[in-house]
Structure 1
């Protein structure tokens, strides 16, 4: 999703103004490819890579893998390298008179370009969601190495097990990975809870796999870790599009029950680590289950979702150089949209009102203002639909503070100083005030210097930096989390 309209760290729709991410398609299974070819398909066979430069300064590397079949027809797939999305089928390939057209229907994108005389360059444009971006593809010999330096390399010094369990109440099967130290158990354990947007067990985003890195670090320190695919992605079943934050809390409760069934796990030392929206979910679970012994909130929120939206939009727009006038107009538009969503519960009527509102507003916007609003006339339906989802309706109005006042277990709340998606000052203060008001005396609140929403060491904190930064999670953040959990699980053991 567009980071301007949610607090998640993963993008699930299409290229839009700002973060400019490409979604995981509905299916990565190869389908039939339509071809129209009166040129030599061997001319374009091979790997072709280029960088999309989208508003906000972010570059996303796109790779097309084109191969010629014996019958001279052409097959192609697309990878978004910096987003970790690979094997997207290119359903339609047309190559005539040195002109190449690649249509990727699953993400509603099209590349059109011309092969230059040197045979090593295809100059063209990428079109998606009503936006057009220059894209020059260069022929390369092999796919770039995408492994981030912090990603652990097998063999691991601990056990790793693929697991499946059920949220019986929701009828959802959840698939994940359980990592267990090789020392003598039973072990303390944590469940990792992803941020908003449909994410896999590694919370994979822009080439980074933060939950893989975090689970590896903690397991090496003697803590068992369960990380899980969100419902409807990877090995997990269920309908993600109809689920709310409360539904995801139910999935986490099922994970706790699963850990309690394992003899390697000390059921008196089970905790939760939630990132971003996961930091909203963890307190919800903690007040429902006495089995939760501690929670760690990584960029969790302490304010209602609507307030987060305004703060986030303002900070990110300023980081991208938007004027005060543009920021003010964007906030006014957001307030009008959110009022419509909250006041009209019928999705059809709300959708019609949003369409009229956006059409009227967009027609009076400059190109810069359109860029920072994230909306365009060409694809309004696709942009309106997520705003009316059950998740968004819940998120806009949910205030985490009443729940936080009921949390009695130990809490570690951390935020990066340069987090522009969940601003640290406002949210850490709200979290601390709520915990204190509820009488919780065992909590630690820390703002970590120089870190962004992903807990990377960053220059500005802008989401446009996420893919460019080699670091996945700051070692400082890892150590703070690991030390705090070790201290609290040792106390429990005594």
Structure 2
């Protein structure tokens, strides 16, 4: 799940990519050799309605399934491009399982060799397997403005009423299972809780899977509306305890839970790696933590940081998206750094900053909503989380609650766990797919124990 870095940050921090074809059909992997890091990529090529299409995964960035605009083949030449991302790849099939080519982004060209993947399923021992000692049912749940949310309810067998909660995903379009690099984050969580007597509702983000709507035009406030709708639906279901129904949000999902709670009144909230500071600060801290963890020199990290700081400040000054667009255009004319950028680089930055989500997210301050929370809160994080720093954000969550209605708060920072609550070594996103563990068992046990105690 993109529990994960917003794509717009990723493009500031790293180059990204995509590609593949008909004798080229299949999955191809390669590694970009960048000055301070290696960036592995996987490109999936298939025929859709008689036409070649490509999607790209960047495991190190926690990004999967990014569609490429064009895939073309001429004899043994493969060309893949995505103008919105400023990406272009041209390669020659030198053997049935090998492509040699050049990858370009934003005016920079790097050699890239691809090898056809012999697909093997990574080990995911926690992925749920039958028999399931609980009931599972699929539903369509109405949200605001005619949105329909495809959802799955897992409910213990036997006599209720059962405590229950709704799972809210983090940044990026997520399905109800929270699938990322073949980890099923939310399915593992729901399975464990329902085996322990707790009902769980998980749903596809709007515009994903069975849910309607347009994810690209949605903001965190829209996700909060979906949280309210799904919790209200859950409270009305047979055998669900309407006095012990809560929200669990991971990463940005925690923000949606806090916003929803100000009007929907859950009986408890669980925040997993959730932000406690304003969006602009969170992304800047995230960027710096990833730069530091990868030993990226100051000569490279400082310009990216300063550019982000200025652009974010312009966003905060603007009273509308239209005003922000004008400010960006004026800044591009005046700032020396833009004189050294290619048109593709400028286009990539503009694409990252022009949507409604980023405009709202940069100014979203969790303390506005933390002050209004009255129900018990469990806040969890790992000390190797490089996306939502545990110490800074946990302190901000505690302060926000204390300055408001002072609800009961239990907070836990787990040694050696990353943003996905996996037992990790560095905390870098490159590890997410390499780790076989989906969620540390201690975290699962603590969530069950806390719900049973409140």
TM-score per shorter chain, which class?
0.7 to 0.9
Query: Per-residue displacement from partner, 1:116-159 (whole Å, max 9, x unpaired)?
Result: 2x54422123445655453323345x532246332222443322
Query: Counterparts of 1:231 and 1:246 in 2: how far apart (Å)?
Result: 13
CA contact (8 A) 2:24 2:45 kept: no
| Contact 1:191 1:227 (8 Å CA) reproduced | yes
Say whether 1:53 aligns with 2:32: yes
Match of 2:112 in 1: 135
Shift of 1:268: 1.4
Q: How far does residue 276 in structure 1 lie from its aligned partner after superposition?
A: 0.8
Return closer, same or farther for 1:9/1:19 CA change in 2, 3 Å cut-off: farther
Which residue is equivalent to 1:486?
452
Q: Aligned residue for 1:354?
A: 328
Distance change (3 Å), C-alpha of 1:338 and 1:109: closer
TM-superposed deviation, 1:444: 0.3
**SS of aligned partner of 1:202:** coil
1:492 corresponds in structure 2 to: none
Partner residue, 1:240 = 215
1:14 touches 1:129 (CA, 8 Å); kept in 2?
A: no
Residue 444 (structure 1) aligns with: 410
Q: 2:226 maps to which residue?
A: 251
Match of 1:341 among 310, 315, 328: 315
Please tell me whether the aligned partners of residues 52 and 135 of structure 1 are also in contact (alpha carbons under 8 angstroms).
yes
Task: Name the structure 2 match of 1:370.
Answer: none
Match of 1:124 in 2: 101
Question: Does 1:300 pair with 2:279?
Answer: no
Change (3 A) 1:17 1:430: closer
Aligned residue among 354, 366, 369 for 1:403: 369
Q: Give the TM-score of the pair, scaled to structure 2.
A: 0.86
State the Cα distance separating 1:436 from its structure 2 match: 2.3
Residue 473, structure 1, aligned to residue 439, structure 2:
yes
Q: 2:167: which partner in 1?
A: 192
Q: Which sections of structure 1, spanning at least 5 residues, go unmatched?
A: 2-6, 26-32, 36-40, 366-374, 489-494
- 1:101 corresponds in structure 2 to 79
For residue 162 of structure 1, what is the aligned residue in structure 2? 138
**C-alpha distance in 2, partners of 1:99/1:63?**
16
- Provide the C-alpha distance between the structure 2 equivalents of 1:45 and 1:336, rounded to a whole number of angstroms: 43
Moved more, 341-350 or 294-303: 341-350
Q: How does 1:62-101 map to 2 (within 5 A)?
A: 62-64=43-45, 75=52, 78=55, 80=57, 82=59, 85=64, 92-96=71-75, 98-101=76-79
Q: 2-side partners of 1:328 and 1:15: how far apart?
A: 16
| 1:316–1:420 contact (8 Å) kept in structure 2 | yes
Matched, 1:389 2:328: no
How far has the Cα of 1:285 moved from its partner?
1.9
Taking the aligned partners of 2:9 and 2:108, their CA distance within structure 1 comes to 10
- Does the residue aligned with 1:471 lie in a helix, a strand or coil? coil
Give a deviation string over 1:310-343, Cα, whole Å, max 9, x none: 2222211111212345444333322211222122
Which residue does 2:91 correspond to in 1?
113
* Residues 208/308 of structure 1: CA separation in 2 closer, same or farther (3 Å cut): same
- Residues of 2 paired with 1:173 and 1:104: CA distance? 31
Conservation of the 8 A alpha-carbon contact between 1:77 and 1:88: yes
- Give the whole-Å Cα distance in 2 for the aligned partners of 1:445 and 1:147: 31
4, 7, 10: which is aligned to 1:9? 4
- Relative distance call for 1:279 and 1:346 in structure 2 (3 A) is closer
- Which of 461, 480, 484 pairs up with 2:427? 461
Contact 2:383–2:390, Cα closer than 8 Å, also in 1? yes
Q: Distance in 2 between matches of 1:257 and 1:378?
A: 46
* SS of equivalent residue, structure 1 residue 170: helix
Greater Rg, structure 1 or structure 2?
A: 1
1:210-232, Cα deviation, whole Å (9 max, x unpaired): 11211111111111111111112
1:84-140 per-position Cα deviation (integer Å, ceiling 9, x unaligned): 8569688543233x4333457897754422232x54422123445655453323345
Please give the per-residue CA displacement for 1:420-466, whole angstroms capped at 9, x wherever unaligned: 21111111111112222334352101111111111122222222332
Structure 1-normalised TM-score? 0.80
* Secondary structure, aligned partner of 2:434: coil
What number of residue pairs does the alignment pair up? Answer: 449
